[in-house]
Amino acid sequence: MGIIRTDAWLEKDVDNPLKICERLLPYFKGKTKREIYHELINFGMYQPSRYARNSQMKLIQQQAWEKVEQIFSKYKNSWNGPDIPIFIFPIAQAGGFFRREEKGKAGVTFPDKLFLFLSNLDDLKDIEALFVHEYHHACRMNQLNKKIEDYTLLDSLIIEGLAEYTVLRNCGREYLAAWCRMYTEKELLKFWNRYIKNDLDKRKNERGHDELLYGGGRIPKLLGYAVGFYIIENYYKNNHYSTKLSFSTSAYSYINDFKNIELK
């Protein structure tokens, strides 16, 4: 599959995202175009605006689709990863409310498809870091072969931590997401004890899972992401790292090591 040429879709219908989401219907069985659009908005997809049109033009000028295709080919071959469709769209204007955004880029991954929301390709390594994070998700989801609704909070912590640790290994510390350094070690251990450790079995579709992962209300922002990265980084201080093993290693393997650290 690889890169779907959404640049052609955008040239025709950039001001009509519902028309664009109509083209996504074959990839979202049982959903309407409006349901697809609302789901993607949560993760950073644009809404019609001058900003969106400017981002679209810049992405076309910078050959975003061709360059992301090269990045995909590199990691698909290196990791023997799944050949899934990848969609590129402009990102929502800064200040929009969606779940995770880093320096004008965001993404969301499903087991069988991946979306990138971008404003430009000024730093291609930055885009590679986003791709590495999202494609690692796809690889792990495919190896685990588990229904999304069966993912627990522990699964979510580990999948996010592993994906960003893989960014560290492939792109360098300067390309880590801001949430990796949002809290001190002392704060993370306090939050772990206060909010997370007793809810590790909470399923994705249960109330409280997303609040603990993304933050909100009394829960610190992106807490689950930050704790997940902390768990994984600590694990690999004492264990050999293998990207391919990180796709299939049980989430409990990582947390058992972390519990020992927590008790010191």
Can you give the residue ranges of every domain in the chain? 2-144, 148-263
Q: At what angle do helices 50-61 and 64-79 cross, to 10 degrees?
A: 70
How many Cα atoms within 13 Å fall on the side-chain side of residue 69? 10
What pLDDT score was predicted for residue 61? 97
What pLDDT score was predicted for residue 46? 95
Closest CA to 169 of 145, 204, 133: 133
Percent of the chain with pLDDT over 90: 87
Closest CA to 79 of 198, 243, 258, 215: 243
Mean pLDDT, rounded, for 132-154: 94
Mean pLDDT, rounded, for 98-104: 57
Q: Where do runs of H (alpha helix) occur along the chain?
A: 6-13, 17-22, 33-41, 50-61, 64-79, 124-144, 153-171, 185-191, 209-214, 223-238, 243-246, 251-263
What pLDDT score was predicted for residue 97? 45
Mean pLDDT, rounded, for 228-246: 95
Output 3 or 263, whichever has higher pLDDT. 3
Closest CA to 100 of 124, 113, 84, 116: 116
**Which class for 147: exposed (0-12), middle (13-18), buried (19 or more C-beta within 10 A)?**
exposed
Which of the four pLDDT bands, split at 50, 70 and 90, describes residue 102?
Answer: low
Closest CA to 120 of 164, 68, 48, 79: 68
Which of the four pLDDT bands, split at 50, 70 and 90, describes residue 122?
Answer: very high
What pLDDT score was predicted for residue 173? 96
User: What pTM does this model have?
Assistant: 0.93
Task: Tell me the per-residue pLDDT of 167-215, one tens digit each, with 9 for 90 and over.
Answer: 999 999 999 999 999 999 999 999 999 999 999 999 999 999 999 999 9
What pLDDT score was predicted for residue 148? 87
**Which class for 129: exposed (0-12), middle (13-18), buried (19 or more C-beta within 10 A)?**
buried
Residue 214 CA to residue 226 CA, distance in Å, equals 10
Per DSSP, the residues of 148-206 read GGG-BHHHHHHHHHHHHHHHHHHH-GGGS-GGGGSS-HHHHHHHIIIIIGGGTT-BTTS
Residue 35 CA to residue 28 CA, distance in Å, equals 10
